[in-house]
A = this chain, B = another copy of it.
């Protein structure tokens, strides 16, 4: 992503490096100490910057952490669209298996739990999350489902938001509430069951 800046190229590169160091430090620290013990002081120390540098750009630790998650999203920008090989079932299995791998990755597990539980208790953060992270991701998912619907692979009257919830909701819920093992086989099973439905097909 390119942005217009009025500062000199060198200053701009320096602030960009500081910004990234701060966000990476926030992400790593929340995974180590949890959200409650995350502090601007701690982030500044880990990133090797002064507290004032952080306060110049962000009003609170929540705002820093949130931007850290947005940075992760930016990094994956090129690959953000869902695969479309024409085979919906195998594409969805690939995507849900990747979600399982990410949720099981110790590097992401704690920070994502911290963000999820902050959202659960903070309606304002939830609204920002919805607007800036959940909705753009959801649009990418619905884009792939809409293509499948046009091709006649999904029911004509299907509510695509419910379809997204039915594919990703079970995984997220099982991960967050620890109600069972989150495996690639479980992801496959969810995809097959969602596509076919619970009722017999004759």
Instruction: Please list the residues of chain A having a beta carbon within 8 angstroms of any beta carbon in chain B.
Output: 34, 36, 113, 116-117, 119-121, 123, 126-127, 129-130, 134, 145, 152-156, 158-159, 161-163, 165-166, 168-170, 172-174, 176-180, 186, 189-190, 193-201
Is B121 within 8 A of A196, CB to CB? no
Q: Bound complex: CA of A1 vs CA of B182, how far in Å? A: 36
Is B178 within 8 A of A174, CB to CB? no
Residues of B within 8 A of A152 (CB): 200
Q: What would be 25 A-B contacts, judged by CB atoms less than 8 Å apart? A: A34-B121, A116-B117, A117-B120, A126-B177, A129-B177, A130-B178, A130-B179, A152-B200, A153-B200, A155-B196, A155-B199, A158-B198, A162-B190, A162-B193, A163-B193, A166-B166, A166-B190, A166-B193, A169-B170, A169-B172, A169-B174, A170-B170, A172-B173, A196-B197, A196-B199
Is A193 within 8 A of B120, CB to CB? no
Is B156 within 8 A of A165, CB to CB? no
Residues of B within 8 A of A121 (CB): 34, 113, 117
Tell me the smallest distance from the CB of A40 to a CB of chain B, in Å.
Answer: 19
Residues of B within 8 A of A145 (CB): 198
Is B126 within 8 A of A200, CB to CB? no
Is A166 within 8 A of B194, CB to CB? yes
Is B197 within 8 A of A123, CB to CB? no
